[in-house]
Amino acid sequence: MTTGATAAGSAGDLAERVAARRSYSRVTPDAPTHEELLPLVAAAGRVADHSALHPWRLIELRGDARLRLGQAFVRDAKATGSEAEKLASKPLRSSLLIAIVSVRTKSEKVPGWEQDAVASGVAHILSLLLHDAGWGVIWRTGRYTRSKAVAKAHGLRKNEELLGWLYVGGKPVGKKPGRRKAVEARKLVTRMPKPKPKKRDEKK
């Protein structure tokens, strides 16, 4: 049986590991295999999910799939020359991209925004798990998540929206991750305000 002290120690260790997360804009060509990725996705899928709709799915982009994504960027921007080359190379910054897809289901209980939040939650937890497993990760979004050419390249259906990509790779040796300011929790955690006292009627 886990004692209170042991549980508190485990929670503290987990908080420290989560707080250590950083985004890696540059990574090495190494990447987790499909089989290594699956248990992490299964764990990330434990995110709070009202009515258990599972309103999300992930798409792995490796190898030539990244080239096709780059070409979709180019088609959307109608770019040519050096601009086209630059856009086409963007997905090549990592050997593994994981597309985060929100899959909206008609529900009287769960509005669309809440389903998007579940998909976003899966992405965040997965990024934490990948970081904890030793991988460098950064979540990239931008205008191309709403591009028709990009949606077609991913094979999205009418009820699906792309929320972004996790770029995953090895952490460069000797390279320090970007710094992040400490979160001032005291300023962000507040209490529900008390009701204002009713004004007394001064008329007699």
Residue range 75-99, pLDDT digits in tens: 999 999 999 999 999 999 999 999 9
Residue range 9-32: mean pLDDT, rounded: 87
> What is the spatial distance between Cα 173 and Cα 201, in angstroms, rounded to a whole number?
72
Q: In this predicted structure, what is the pLDDT of residue 203?
A: 56
Residue 178's pLDDT band (cuts 50, 70, 90): low
Edge-to-edge strand ranges of the sheet holding 96-103: 56-62, 96-103, 160-170, 135-140
In degrees and rounded to multiples of 5, residue 50 shows phi and psi of -55, 125
User: The pTM is what?
Assistant: 0.87
> What is the spatial distance between Cα 151 and Cα 154, in angstroms, rounded to a whole number?
5
Cα distances from 107 to residues 112, 175, 204, in angstroms, run 8, 46, 54
- Provide CATH code, domain 22-61+94-172: 3.40.109.10
Residue 181's pLDDT band (cuts 50, 70, 90): confident
Question: Does the pLDDT value for residue 102 go beyond 70?
Answer: yes
Q: In this predicted structure, what is the pLDDT of residue 20?
A: 85
Q: In this predicted structure, what is the pLDDT of residue 196?
A: 87
Query: Phi-psi category of 54—alpha, beta or left, where left has phi over 0 and alpha has psi -120 to 50?
Result: left
Find the distance separating the first CA and the last CA of the chain, reported in whole Å. Answer: 68
Question: Does the pLDDT value for residue 199 go beyond 80?
Answer: no
> What is the spatial distance between Cα 78 and Cα 134, in angstroms, rounded to a whole number?
38
The DSSP bridge pattern shows strands 135-140 and 96-103 to be: unpaired
Q: In this predicted structure, what is the pLDDT of residue 4?
A: 46
Q: If you average pLDDT over every residue of the chain, what do you get?
A: 90
Q: In this predicted structure, what is the pLDDT of residue 14?
A: 87
Residue range 38-56: mean pLDDT, rounded: 94
Q: In this predicted structure, what is the pLDDT of residue 173?
A: 86
**Sign, Cα dihedral of 20, 178, 84, 159:** positive
In degrees and rounded to multiples of 5, residue 200 shows phi and psi of -75, 145
Percent of the chain with pLDDT over 90: 75
Q: How many helices (H) and strands (E) does the chain have?
A: 7, 4
Residue range 42-63: mean pLDDT, rounded: 95
Half-sphere exposure of 155 (CA within 13 A, CB side): 6
Q: In this predicted structure, what is the pLDDT of residue 89?
A: 97
Given a contact cutoff of 8 angstroms between Cβ atoms, the answer to whether 116 and 59 are in contact is no
Question: Does the pLDDT value for residue 35 go beyond 70?
Answer: yes
Question: What are the boundaries of each domain within the chain?
Answer: 22-61+94-172
Q: In this predicted structure, what is the pLDDT of residue 3?
A: 46
